[in-house]
Amino acid sequence: MDDRSTPARLIRTEAEALAVAAEFRASLAEGAAERDRHRRLPLAEVAALSQSGLWAITVPREHGGADVGYAALAEVVARLAEGDSSVAQIPQNHFSTLETLRHIAPAPVQREFFARVLAGARFGNAEAERGPPAMLRPAETGFRLDGRKAYCTGALFAHFVTVTARDAEGRAVVAIVERDAPGLTLLDDWSGMGQRTTASGTAILDALAVPAARVLPLWQASARRTTIGALAQLLHAAIDLGIARAALAETARFVHERSRPFADAGVPRAADDPLLVVRFGQVQTRVHAAEAMLARAAASLDAARNAADETACSAASIAVAEAKVLTTEAALAAADALFELAGTHATLACYNLDRYWRDARTHTLHDPIRWKHHAIGDWHLNGAAPPIRSYL
């Protein structure tokens, strides 16, 4: 698929990016329930989103982009997730790819793909393994890829797909391939109970040809700590925060418009039930705490990028892990409280409100927070740097 006949808008400032995200938040929310109900892939919505310029906001300034900070990027993603968390998850791997290009791609590759992204190109991924790792082998011209990948979020919507593999020396590499390249088959077989329209299906690699210039040394990103892994986790946390905000807003709307007060409350409106008000306040506090921790983590990550120091990057990874713990808890709490406070009527299928819980429970499984708790404790108690992993 290629919808780049018209160049994408060029966003120049963080304020502009946040304003555009706020506009899309409303438009995405309008059709989110029906897209989820019928599992209709948001092809038009994703195309409009990339044409808006939001997918290019992290392109470095020296390549013509806005180069927004991590704090602004996280808030952009959170706002999109308030509208539709499935749509917000689709560019998560795209932004992670741009961060990887910033760190390990040679100058010609950066120039080519940053320019393409500014024009409206999108990245998807084929990185998670289900079975033996994909292998990159020498071929007559360049290399060939063989293997099978799972959870390929964004690939069906992409112009380019990043494929991780092992080379002949067993080192991790990432190949950039055309979405429609011969030898790459993308299956829309994602059947998760939540995040239903992310198309996070399977990729089959069968003698997929890759030019040598489009194979990048991913092992270099594991040789020392950078902001790559933490940035990916920050965006996951932002998606969870967006789900929490949306679920809480839906709770307030339903309580005001449809819920009945409990008989013993002695009030005419559900919104005046004192125990309901208390519970709503408890959940709102958790969501605000998650917002504050996400902003703190983003600021730490911005500082680490500017410092280019491994210790600063480790501290930022821990800050992001702490934020991810709170956004996970806030998303699940808000999605559960929706039914607790809105009442039985809220469970009716016509409202499809269970999508908030299904989305929260599905997306928060992406990386187990129990391992984040361990890394956090080891850092603060023992001064141990977190391991260099994609989940930290």
Q: What is the mean pLDDT of residues 350-368?
A: 96
State how far the Cα of 103 lies from the Cα of 279, in Å rounded to an integer: 45
Of 309, 289, 143, 140, residue with least CA distance to 216: 143
Helices vs. strands in the chain: H and E counts, helices first:
12, 9
Q: Render pLDDT for 114-143 as a digit per residue (tens, 0 to 9).
A: 999 999 999 999 999 988 999 999 998 899
Domain parsing of the chain, residue ranges: 14-122, 126-221, 224-382
Q: How confident is the model at residue 156 (pLDDT cuts 50, 70, 90)?
A: very high
State how far the Cα of 169 lies from the Cα of 172, in Å rounded to an integer: 9
Q: Render pLDDT for 211-260 as a digit per residue (tens, 0 to 9).
A: 999 999 999 988 889 999 999 999 999 999 999 999 999 999 999 999 99
- Residue 112 is inside which H or E element, if any? helix 107-118
Tokens of 276: 């309901």
Give the pLDDT of residue 1.
53
Give the pLDDT of residue 308.
72
Q: Render pLDDT for 259-289 as a digit per residue (tens, 0 to 9).
A: 999 999 999 999 999 999 999 999 999 999 9
- Tell me if 14-122 shares its fold with 126-221: no
Q: How confident is the model at residue 294 (pLDDT cuts 50, 70, 90)?
A: very high
Which residue(s) pair with 186 in the sheet? 203
Q: How confident is the model at residue 5 (pLDDT cuts 50, 70, 90)?
A: low
CB contact set of 318 (below 8 Å; sequence gap of 6+): 375, 376, 379, 380, 386
Q: How confident is the model at residue 7 (pLDDT cuts 50, 70, 90)?
A: confident
Give the pLDDT of residue 322.
98
Q: Which CATH superfamily does the domain covering 224-382 fall into?
A: Butyryl-CoA Dehydrogenase, subunit A, domain 3 (1.20.140.10)
Q: How confident is the model at residue 297 (pLDDT cuts 50, 70, 90)?
A: very high
Higher pLDDT, 307 or 119: 119
Give the pLDDT of residue 2.
61
Is the pLDDT assigned to residue 81 strictly greater than 60?
A: yes
Outline where DSSP puts E strands in 46-119.
none
Q: What is the mean pLDDT of residues 373-384?
A: 98
Tokens of 346: 């809220």
Quick one: fold of 126-221? Butyryl-CoA Dehydrogenase, subunit A; domain 2 (2.40.110)
Helix axes 14-38, 354-363, angle to 10 degrees: 110
What percent of the chain shows pLDDT beyond 70? Answer: 99
- Is this structure's pTM higher than 0.95? yes
A 10 A CB-CB count for 370 gives: 8
Q: What is the mean pLDDT of residues 301-327?
A: 94
Q: What is the mean pLDDT of residues 337-347?
A: 97
Q: Strand pairing of 160-166 and 123-126?
A: parallel
Phi and psi (nearest 5°) for 161? Answer: -120, 130
Q: Is 147 helix (H, G, I), strand (E, B) or coil?
A: strand
Is the pLDDT assigned to residue 188 strictly greater than 90?
A: yes
Q: Give residue 235's identity as a one-letter amino acid code.
A: L
State how far the Cα of 346 lies from the Cα of 251, in Å rounded to an integer: 9
Q: Render pLDDT for 9-53 as a digit per residue (tens, 0 to 9).
A: 999 999 999 999 999 999 999 999 999 999 999 999 999 999 999
Our CA dihedral for 95, 100, 103, 109, rounded to 10 degrees, sits at -100
Is the pLDDT assigned to residue 58 strictly greater than 70?
A: yes
Mean pLDDT (the chain, rounded) = 96
CATH architecture of 14-122: Orthogonal Bundle (1.10)
Q: Strand pairing of 184-187 and 128-129?
A: unpaired
